Chain A
Amino acid sequence: MPELNGGEIIIESLKKENVDVVFGYPGGAVINLYDALYNSDLKHYLGRHEQGVVHAADGYARSSGKVGVCIATSGPGGTNLVTGLANAQMDSIPLVAFTGQVSSSLIGKDAFQEADITGISLPITKHNFLVTDIKDLARTIKEAFYIARTGRPGPVLIDLAKDVTQAVAEFDYPDRVDLPGYRPTFEGHKLQINKAAKAINEAERPLLYVGGGAVISGAEKELRQMADKAKIPVTTTLMALGIYPEDQPLALEMLGMHGTQYANKATIETDLLIAVGARFDDRVTGKLDEFAAQADIIQIDIDPAEIGKNLDVEIPIVGDVKTVLQELIPYIEEKENGPWQERIKELKEKFPLKYEDDGSETIKPQYIMEEIDKYTGGEATIVTEVGQHQMWAAQFHKYKKPRQFITSGGLGTMGYGLPAAIGAQIGQPKEKVVLIAGDGSIQMNIQELGTAQAYNIPIKIVIFNNKYLGMVRQWQEIFFEKRYSSTKIPAPNFVKMGEAYGIWSKSVDKKSELDSALKEAMEHDGPAILDVHIPEEENVYPMVPAGAGLKDMIGG
């Protein structure tokens, strides 16, 4: 067996895990690892801030379905990862984050750039490790990747004492892991499957409520089969947009706080809610005791802790969504369209998503999304920041395939979008990647423009510029009598800023100029910024006020 130093062992282990892309930022405590990277054929993308690096790895993981890998140094390097780890944890994204740590003899001595990152990241990772002995290194990496991508995926952090990356040992990568305390369930319980099938066959108004778990599991084919076979309408959460093509008659698109009226009304009327890899988040359910109050609930989830966490369910099935659906489908009876499907059609016709357009030169944000949808044939990967623009992007674009909409769902991280779009483009090099950003959010990790430019990552950045922190402003308008406390945010000149980074940039404020500007940006060979001025006080509707029931939807 070859003798390698710790840095080289990491590189070789990453190759064994089929990693070909890593995102990172060097520093003293990881200098040995970076030395090993120097001669390796791993592609390393240097970010401009560790938060950018971890979000890029996250965007890469979401778009490619692979494990995202990032590297940061000790102390501030590690602490700058915190938001990104929490973000990945909330949305169950598989990441392996390597952090440098001071030498093992210095740990606990408040050494230069020392921070207890395993302690800090404990509640925001699926698991973490501190490696102080090179003999544990390869096995730890094997375990980290296994934990990150199996079961309910999540971020795993490996903290590396600096002497471990320097030391030399024989490299022996284990074939399998031995984790007696970690055994995810994949197959559904036979009895529960039968119960679920019976309930579905007997239901008059069944509804599929599909979440991010179905995307992670790769269950789009099974979902389609099941919905189409039994003519079950499908509503998805923000995390699952596109898993069921939104141009289909049974597609109800997003439900919840800013969901469609027809999805929310169907949720109120259904007599059997089939939750598939979804976790009954408060932004989906609103007031819990009113949510799907007429329905029995089937919940399919790989994480047993999700069953009954927020809402009691009649038929729980613990297992991998794809596997469980495969087991379930043969027992599902084929059905023809009936009164329920008629009702769905009626709801869709009667309560469509809409917005006011006065025919002037004002550019409505909803219109921009429709134009992007049209221009790209609905095929582009849409990445978002967090806020009003995120909701418009979710509402006014028809998604057709899973992993087409990439967004920070659970944590709601402003500053996620730009680095995530870079990662998403690297994960799907052939797709067109469009970042929908707010003028507030984009400024939170604006430094990553440097990364996009340096590697010529051809993302198209469309800034919905309303000179406000729009979502908070909207709440202040509706619930706080327009007391706009600290939500007015003068934007910089985004065009000059883009140009300073060497990025093609253009500003638009007339509707008649939008199409050609969009075309120019989309056709530009390389990253592009389109700064679009939208009305300052446009609201996202429909809206269910926080804590209210879905029936109390306002607007739209």
Chain B
Amino acid sequence: MTHILSVSVLNKPGVLTRIAGLFSRRNFNIESLNVGKTENPEISRMTIVVQGDEKVLEQVTKQLHKLINVLKITELDKNSIVERDLILIRVKCTRKQRSEIIQIADTFRAQIVDVAPDSLMIEATGTEDKLEALTELLRDFGIAEFVRTGTVALSRGQAAK
């Protein structure tokens, strides 16, 4: 089971190391971890995607709470959040294949952000599933390299529920 945790932390030196270190020490699996600023400059928000059953999740949450610089942990309910991941993919392509790849990108509302004689770079955002589908389709052309940010997520507003 994957769980998405939204963790607000005090922006102190070493806070990322503390959290990453806790996961390795307690033998928890992180699928992805994302850190960014928030509306308050003293607070950062981490979005952590964790693998494990309810028991593991409970321990992860409790152990995270013990870190002095962790303020709040919320498990995000997948049904009431906006969840996004960003991917940059460089796909090998011949001149002939270019338009086909652009079509695929369009279908996924992805952007072409760089064009080279033998490759294209595509930028796409969306849920993990969507990005995986896109990657799968592009695999036929040969993926030179790609990078993903990992999930960031926020709960929807009350009215939208």
* Among listed A303-311, A418-426, A457-465, interface-contacting one: A303-311
User: Is the C-beta of A201 less than 8 angstroms from some C-beta in chain B?
Assistant: no
**Contact yes or no, B68 A123, CB < 8 A:** no
Tell yes or no: A182 within 8 A of B by CB.
yes
Chain B residues closer than 8 Å to A118, beta-carbon distance? 14
Asked if B18 and A181 sit within 8 Å, CB to CB, the answer is no
Establish whether residues A181 and B58, one from each chain, have CB atoms under 8 Å apart when the complex forms.
no
Given A180-B71, A181-B70, A181-B71, CB of A305 within 8 Å of CB of B25: no
- Give complex CA distance A118, B71 in Å: 21
Whether the Cβ atoms of A181 and B25 lie closer than 8 Å is no
Q: Contact flags (1/0) for B56-71 with A, using CB distance below 8 Å?
A: 0011001101111111
Q: Which residue of chain B is the closest to A143 with respect to CB atoms? A: B68
Is A119 at the interface (CB under 8 A from chain B)?
yes
CA A309 – CA B13 in complex, angstroms? 29
Q: Which A116-130 residues have C-beta < 8 A from chain B? A: 118-119, 122-123, 126-127, 130
Bound complex: CA A251 to CA B67 (Å) = 37
Contact (Cβ within 8 A) B65 A308 = no
When distances are taken between beta carbons in the complex, the residues of chain B under 8 Å from A102 are none
Let me know if A181 and B62 touch, CB within 8 A: no
Partner of B68 from the list A181, A305, A308 (CB cut-off 8 Å) is: A181
Report the bound CA distance from A303 to B65 in whole Å. Answer: 10
> Is A305's CB under 8 angstroms from B62's CB?
yes
**Cβ contact within 8 Å between B59 and A181:** no
A308 in contact with B21 given A118-B14, A181-B70 (CB within 8 Å): no
Q: Is the CB of B17 within 8 A of A119?
A: yes
| Interface flag for B55 (CB, 8 Å) | yes
User: B88 on the interface (CB 8 Å rule)?
Assistant: no
Tell yes or no: A137 within 8 A of B by CB: no
Contact B59 A127 (CB under 8 A): no
Contact with A along B69-103 (1 / 0, CB 8 A): 11100000000000000000000000000000000
Q: Contact between A308 and B58 (Cβ–Cβ < 8 Å)? A: yes
Closest chain B residue to A130, Cβ basis: B13
Contact call B66/A122, Cβ cutoff below 8 A: no
User: Is B21 a contact of A305 with CB atoms below 8 Å?
Assistant: no
Name A309's contact: one of B9, B59, B70 (CB within 8 Å).
B59
Query: What residues of chain A lie closer than 8 Å to B67, measured between beta carbons?
Result: 181
Given the complex of chains A and B, what is the CA–CA distance between A127 and B18 in angstroms? 10
Per-residue contact bits, chain A 497-513, to B (CB 8 Å; 1 contact, 0 not) = 00000000000000000
- Name the A residues within 8 Å of B154 (CB-CB): none
Q: A184: shortest Cβ distance to chain B, in Å?
A: 10
Q: Point out the residues of chain B lying under 8 angstroms from A308, CB to CB.
A: 55, 58-59
Q: Would A305 and B66 be within 8 Å (CB), given that A119-B17, A122-B18 are in contact?
A: yes
Q: Which of B9, B55, B65, B68 lies in contact with A127, CB distance below 8 A?
A: B68
Q: How many residues of A contact B (CB 8 A)?
A: 18
Closest residue to B13 on the A side, CB-wise?
A130
- The residue of chain B having its C-beta at the shortest distance from the C-beta of A305 within the complex is B62
| Binary contact readout B1-28 vs A (1 if CB under 8 angstroms, 0 otherwise) | 0000000011001100110011001000
The answer to whether A123 and B21 have CB atoms under 8 Å apart is yes
B10 touches A181 (CB 8 A): yes
Residues of B near A127 (CB, < 8 A) are 68
How far apart sit A9 and B66, CA to CA, in the bound complex (Å)?
29
Contact A305 B69 (CB under 8 A): no
A305 touches B13 (CB 8 A): no
Chain A, range 95-126, C-beta contacts under 8 Å to B: 118-119, 122-123, 126
A305 with B59: in contact, given A123-B21, A181-B71 (CB under 8 Å)? Answer: yes
Contacts of A304 in B (CB 8 A): 62, 65
Tell me which residues across on chain B come within 8 A of A1, comparing CB atoms.
Answer: none
Q: A123, B63: Cβ atoms under 8 Å?
A: no
B21 touches which one: A122, A181, A182, A303 (CB < 8 A)? Answer: A122
Q: Which residue of A lies closest to B62 (CB)?
A: A305
**Which residues of chain A are within 8 angstroms of B68 by Cβ–Cβ distance?**
126-127, 147, 179, 181-182
Binding site for B on A (CB under 8 A): 118-119, 122-123, 126-127, 130, 147, 179-182, 303-305, 307-309
Q: Told that A126-B68, A180-B71, A181-B69 touch, could you supply 15 new A-B pairs with CB distance under 8 A?
A: A119-B17, A123-B21, A123-B22, A127-B68, A130-B14, A147-B68, A181-B9, A181-B67, A181-B71, A305-B59, A305-B63, A305-B65, A305-B66, A307-B62, A309-B59
- Name 17 interchain pairs, CB-CB below 8 A, sorted by A: A118-B14, A119-B14, A122-B14, A122-B21, A126-B68, A179-B68, A180-B71, A181-B9, A181-B67, A181-B71, A182-B68, A304-B62, A305-B59, A305-B62, A305-B65, A307-B62, A309-B59
* A-B complex: 10 closest residue pairs judged by Cβ atoms: A305-B62, A127-B68, A181-B71, A123-B25, A182-B68, A304-B62, A181-B70, A305-B63, A181-B69, A122-B21
